[in-house]
Amino acid sequence: MINIRSVNKVYGEGPNAVTALRDINLEVPQGGIYGVVGRSGAGKSTLIRCVNMLETPTSGQVLVDGQDLTQLDEQGLRLARHQIGMIFQHFNLLSSRTVYDNIALPLELMKADSAQIKAAVEPLLELTGLTDKVDHYPSQLSGGQKQRVAIARALATKPKVLLSDEATSALDPHTTRSILELLKNINRELGITILLITHEMEVVKRICDRVALISDGSLIEEDEVGHFFTHP
Ligand code: ADP
Ligand code: ADP
């Protein structure tokens, strides 16, 4: 579902250049939950941001559902991004909008009408357990509730892929587990492929079926989770 081919990423130029990714090759199978782990500064954020072109790779290809995103123009990219939802460590909700209107935002940007928006948002409120919070503002929600809103928003365009950038890193262990359970459900029930980055091995052990380790921009190892953690 996601094919990363020979991707390099260099920030800046000349003496200040930072190589964040070095010849990364990665294949995330359809329907999987795939984890990328590594220390701070290893290149995890850069890698996941290349999968929806929030960062443009310096070279290489990024294919999502067979389409090479590096070859698309702005318009093509806008359409392709409907297939790719993303969630973040700090939720990135709009504080001036209610839960409902946060989830509706991507649909408004697609020029959906209010009936289409309602038809899409209501099942997502149900799925994420937010039905009774629909008129709340982000400041009235707990961290876990905010992340649920962000997850619902990421699913509003019915993506095939969900990208998660340290989605549980700002949450306590109990809330972390409930968010991971939700992600597992979404993967199982909606068949959405999940690519996540984390610095917490516990997250990988709990929900991933495959994992890659990156260090200093290079892919060091890639395996099924069961094998990965039994290595000497
Ligand atoms: P991680 O997510 O694993 O912490 P990052 O992808 O954020 O790693 O960073 C990888 C490397 O690229 C680091 O050396 C970081 O300082 C650098 N980097 C990340 N973003 C930028 C940027 N916008 N400009 C310059 N350097 C960056
Ligand atoms: P997170 O782990 O939540 O992504 P970071 O502190 O790694 O937070 O990065 C926050 C933002 O700053 C990201 O957009 C990243 O690309 C950017 N960034 C990270 N390192 C650098 C850097 N050395 N120079 C410029 N921007 C950077």
Tell me how far apart the alpha carbons of residues 120 and 176 are, in angstroms, rounded to a whole number: 26
Contacts of 201 (CB under 8 A, 6+ apart): 37, 229
User: How remote is the CA of residue 51 from the centroid of ligand 2, in Å?
Assistant: 16
Return the best residue to mutate from 45, 166, 197 for the ligand 2 pocket (most ligand atoms within 8 A of CB).
45
- Ligand 1 centroid to residue 21 C-alpha, Å: 9
CB count within 10 Å of CB 30 equals 12
Which residues lie across from 68 on neighbouring strands? 63
219 touches 24 (CB < 8 A): yes
Note the helical H segments in 81-139.
99-109, 114-127
**Cα 153 to averaged position of ligand 1 atoms, centre (Å):** 26
Cβ-contact 93, 138 below 8 angstroms: yes
The protein residue whose alpha carbon is closest to atom 25 in ligand 2 is 11
Residue 50 alpha carbon to ligand 2 centre in Å: 14
What CA–CA distance (Å, rounded) separates 212 from 60?
Answer: 18
Residue type, 140: Q
CB 166 within 8 A of CB 198: yes
- Global pTM reads 0.90
| Residue of 46, 89, 199 with the most ligand 1 atoms within 8 Å of its CB, for mutation | 46
Ligand 2, atom 14: nearest CA belongs to which residue? Answer: 45
| pLDDT in the model for residue 114 | 97
User: Which among 214, 229, 220, 221 has a CA at the least distance from the CA of 40?
Assistant: 214
What letter does residue 111 receive in the DSSP assignment? T
The rounded Å distance from CA 58 to ligand 1 centre is: 14
ipTM: 0.74
Q: Please name the helix (run of DSSP H) or strand (run of DSSP E) that holds residue 51, with its range, or none.
A: helix 44-51
Q: Which residues is 58 bridged to in the sheet?
A: none
Q: Which ligand is nearest to the CA of 40?
A: 1
What is the pLDDT, as a whole number, of residue 231?
A: 62
Which residues have C-beta within 8 Å of that of residue 162, sequence separation ≥ 6?
84, 85, 86, 87, 151, 154, 155, 183, 186, 192, 193, 194, 195
Could you read off the pLDDT tens digit of each residue along the chain, which spans 232 residues? 999 999 999 999 999 999 999 999 999 999 999 999 999 999 999 999 999 999 999 999 999 999 999 999 999 999 999 999 999 999 999 999 999 999 999 999 999 999 999 999 999 999 999 999 999 999 999 999 999 999 999 999 999 999 999 999 999 999 999 999 999 999 999 999 999 999 999 999 999 999 999 999 999 999 999 888 876 5
**Amino acid 232: pLDDT:** 56
Q: Assess whether the C-beta atom of 198 lies below 6 angstroms from ligand 1.
A: no
Q: What is the pLDDT of residue 227?
A: 87
Closest ligand by atom to 47 CA: 1
